[in-house]
Amino acid sequence: MEDAEIVAICDRNSSAAKAMASEFAVARTYTSLDEALSSARADFVDIITPPSSHLDLVEMAARHRLPVICQKPLAPNLETAERIVSVAARSGIRLMVHENFRFQPWHRAVKSLLDAGVIGSQLHTISCHTRLGDGWGDEAYLGRQPYFRDMQRFLIQETGVHFIDTFRYLAGEIDEVFCTTKRLNKAIQGEDAVHLLIRFASGAMGTWDANRYNESLCTDPRYTFGTFVLEGNEGSIWVNEEGEITVARLGDTPKRHEFEAPRTGFAGDCVLAAQRHFIDCLQTGNLFETSGNDYLANLRIVESAYDSAARNRPVRIEHHQPSRQIIDLSIPINNRLPGAEITACKTVDQDGWNATTISLYSHCGTHMDAPKHFLTQGTSIDQMPLEPFIGTAKVIDLTPVIPKELLTVERITEATGTINAGDRVLLRTDWHRNLGTSKYRNELPRISPELARWFVEKQVALVGVEPPSVADVNNLDELTEVHRILLEGNIVIVEGLTNLDQLTRDEVEFITLPLRIESGDGCPVRAIAIQSNTQTPLR
């Protein structure tokens, strides 16, 4: 990746560290992570050590306030994994688990098809059939991963956790599992055959039928690790062992769905895709898909599967969720953000403390428009009443949107219930995913003048959008008209929101606060959402 550089390699074996550094032209090597983090100017830590070491290493990274991407298994057991996640949360560092199966290109393509409603609005079943054929014979696993032979818990813990995460990615949260296991190869200690039945919170059902003993007809079963079938109320999707996707709506002829699936790297280059996601999220502030807290859900399902197998009965999943969740909806301000410039003016080495000079365009990143932005006699940002900036907001899911889509009253009323006077509305379009591309600014979905007038008639207090503007920035007439309608109607405009796809409730507590800039026409804001588990989930 051109925008990420490995500045140091740390290994307790100095020779191994130097050999790796030589192979990949890395300048520095260390045998102590604490020393490495004290000496090297690192932006993050990638932990690829045995699970028993992960807690200590995350604690070191936390002391240095550095984000972490950590290989799975996250820890030897659930209790230690929970401690790791707690350490990261208390210290305020970002933690991503390197769970890469969901980043396989066929799973990303299938997710897009599901989100687009290609096989309907309701998923009925998802099933996977896995036969790897690397676990038969007295010398099974000795060539690739000999420690597999001694694992008391094997197939679910080592391989099944990938599919549990992928199933959650494609079909949502899991409420119940019923699992049966068997040891086919007597030369190993743990289970190598599993039949896992899943009931999702949505009502959909899932099946993972797997063993590593028997073979498949595929020449490279580790490319996809199995075949998938997804069935909805309007059709089906099939994924074969070559990663090829076939789609058919009910009554129609099945058709191949074309997408890019590389043969480089591991399993469609999903390792690179996972790493790309990590770097992108560090740069944009977006939430990790496989955050430490989210990954704990996978581990709890693994525990429930083993519990089910031991008791020979279905087991309900105990969901551990905080009473409330705070989600940052703001784009990070850094030197990559157009309109922002941050330069050092003081340093600890020279002056005894660090300080920076910050130059900001008043409408860069996530920001609020003051009426003065488009109205000659409009109120400035410091004179705006504070009440609309804090309070309950309705989340209106408009996904999927098309480039340059003109959002209408009909579009809003189809997606939500009643809009009342004083409401704050956040329009989810997932447009923040285009941040950093020309599409983000030049093809944005925008509010129509008709919809702007409707919001004014409804006496909406605040409108928040993900694109950098509520109107087409390349059309001055439209830009002016829509802004003036909203601002003359005393509607607060917040633009450039991000992470609305992380909100799972119809309503959230929304806070967006600008700096108190006298005569300001606008200002970047720190926007956050607070959602409670007692609130109504999004439909």
Contact of 240 with 223, CB cutoff 8 Å: no
| Tens of pLDDT, residues 167-222 | 999 999 999 999 999 999 999 999 999 999 999 999 999 999 999 999 999 999 99
Going by pLDDT thresholds of 50, 70 and 90, the confidence category of residue 235 is very high
Query: Is residue 479 included in any domain, yes or no?
Result: yes
**Tell me, what amino acid is at 446?**
R
pLDDT band, very low/low/confident/very high, at 538 (cuts 50, 70, 90): very low
Contact assessment for residue 374 and residue 487, using Cβ atoms and an 8 Å cutoff: yes
What is the CATH classification number for the domain harbouring 506? 3.50.30.50
Instruction: Give the integer Cα–Cα distance in Å for 37 and 364.
Output: 33
Choose among 81, 78, 79, 86: nearest CA to 97: 81
88 shares a domain with 132: no
Residues 170 and 82 in one domain: no
Is 334 within the bounds of a domain?
no
Q: Could you tell me if 202 and 66 lie in one domain? A: no
- CA angle, residues 91, 97, 99, in degrees to nearest 5: 170
CA angle 257, 258, 260 (to 5 degrees): 135
Q: Which two tokens stand for residue 194?
A: 């599993």
How many angstroms separate the CA atoms of 417 and 413, rounded? 7
Asked if residue 286 is part of any domain, the answer here is no
Number of domains in the chain: 3
Domain that holds residue 429: 361-532
Residues 157/151, Cβ–Cβ less than 8 Å: yes
Q: Is the pLDDT of residue 537 over 60?
A: no
CATH code for the domain in which residue 26 is found: 3.40.50.720
Q: Is the pLDDT reported for residue 64 higher than 60?
A: yes
Of 495, 492, 480, 395, the closest CA to residue 444 belongs to 495
In this prediction, residue 321 carries a pLDDT of 58
CB atoms within 10 A of CB 414: 10
Q: Cα separation of 306 and 315, whole Å?
A: 10
Residue 301 has pLDDT above 60, yes or no: yes
Shortest CA distance to 493 belongs to which of 521, 529, 532?
521
Helix (H, G, I), strand (E, B) or coil at 71: strand
**What gap in Å lies between CA 165 and CA 274, rounded to an integer?**
14
pLDDT recorded at residue 285:
83
The answer on pLDDT for 90 being more than 90 is no
pLDDT at 120: 93
Residue 156's φ and ψ, nearest 5 degrees, are -70, -50
Q: Give yes or no for a contact between 160 and 141, defined as CB atoms under 8 angstroms apart.
A: no
Read off the pLDDT of residues 390-444 as tens digits, 9 standing for 90 and up. Answer: 999 999 999 999 999 999 999 999 998 789 999 999 999 999 989 989 999 999 9
213 and 136 Cβ atoms separated by less than 8 Å:
yes
State phi, psi for 349 to the nearest 5 degrees.
-60, -40
What does the pLDDT average to over 60-84? 91
Mean pLDDT, residues 305-325: 84
Instruction: Give the pLDDT confidence score for residue 42 in this predicted structure.
Output: 87
Instruction: Please give the Cα distance from 264 to 274 (Å, whole number).
Output: 14
Do 107 and 92 reside in the same domain of the chain? no
Q: What pLDDT, on a 0 to 100 scale, did the predictor assign at position 323?
A: 61
Is residue 234 pLDDT above 90, yes or no? yes
Is the domain of 201 the same as that of 257?
yes
Confidence of residue 536 (pLDDT cuts 50, 70, 90): very low
Nearest-Å Rg of the Cα atoms of the chain is: 26
| 120 shares a domain with 92 | no
Angle, helix 270-284 to helix 105-115, in steps of 10 degrees: 60
- For the four alpha carbons of 485, 487, 490 and 492, in that order, the dihedral sign comes to positive
Query: Counting beta carbons within 10 angstroms of the beta carbon of residue 91, is it exposed (0 to 12), middle (13 to 18) or buried (19 or more)?
Result: middle
152 versus 469: the higher-pLDDT residue is: 469
64 and 112 inside one domain: no
303 against 502, higher pLDDT: 303
Residue 348 covered by a domain: no
Give the separation between CA 340 and CA 329, rounded to whole angstroms. Answer: 18
35 and 120 in a single domain? The answer is no
pLDDT digits (tens, 9 = 90+) for 245-299: 999 999 999 999 999 888 898 999 999 999 999 999 988 888 899 999 999 999 9
| Helix, strand and coil percent figures for the chain, each rounded to 5 | 30, 25, 45
Please name the helix (run of DSSP H) or strand (run of DSSP E) that holds residue 85, with its range, or none: helix 78-91
Question: Are 85 and 122 part of one and the same domain?
Answer: no
Asked whether residue 155 carries a pLDDT value surpassing 80, the answer given is: yes
Q: What pLDDT is attached to residue 430? A: 93
Last residue of a domain, one of 65, 96, 127: 96
pLDDT of 535 over the 60 cut: no
Identify whether 194 is part of a domain.
yes
Average pLDDT, stretch 499-508?
Answer: 89
Write the pLDDT tens digit of every residue in 337-389.
999 999 999 998 899 999 999 999 999 999 999 999 999 999 999 999 999 99
Predicted confidence at residue 533, as pLDDT, reads 60
Q: Is residue 402 assigned to a domain?
A: yes
pLDDT given for residue 306 in this prediction: 95
Mean pLDDT throughout 299-323? 87
Measured torsion, CA atoms of residues 361, 363, 367, 372, in degrees rounded to the nearest 10: 120
Helix axes 161-171, 292-311, angle to 10 degrees: 110
Omega before 73 within 30 of 0, i.e. cis: yes
Q: Which of 211, 140, 198, 135 lies closest to 164 in space, CA to CA?
A: 198
Q: Which two tokens stand for residue 535?
A: 């609130």
Mean pLDDT score across all residues of the chain: 92
Q: Is the pLDDT of residue 539 over 50?
A: no
Model confidence at 156: pLDDT above 70: yes
Regarding whether 430 and 302 lie in a shared domain, the answer is no
Give whole-number Cα distances, 173 to 206, 503, 524, in Å: 11, 14, 35
List b or e across 291-317, with b for residues whose CB sees 16 or more CB atoms inside 10 angstroms: bbbbbbbbbbbbbbbbebbeeeeebeb
Cα 187 from chain centre? 40
CATH number at residue 252: 3.30.360.10
Judgement on whether residues 24 and 162 belong to the same structural domain of the protein: no
Q: Name the domain boundary from 37, 65, 96.
A: 96
Q: What are the C-alpha distances in Å from 66 to residues 53, 456, 459? A: 17, 45, 45
Same domain, 235 and 260: yes
Per-residue DSSP letter, 92: T
Least confident interval from 3-7, 424-428, 532-536: 532-536
Predicted confidence at residue 92, as pLDDT, reads: 87
End-to-end Cα separation, the chain, in angstroms: 38
Please check whether residue 249 lies inside any domain of the structure: yes
Mapping DSSP onto H, E and C, the string for 122-178 reads: CEEEEEEEEECCCCCCCCCCCCCCHHHHHCCCCHHHHHHHHHHHHHHHHHCCEEEEE
Q: Domain boundary at 81, 96, 111, which?
A: 96
Tell me, yes or no, whether 417 lies in a domain: yes
261 contacts 268 by C-beta, under 8 angstroms: yes
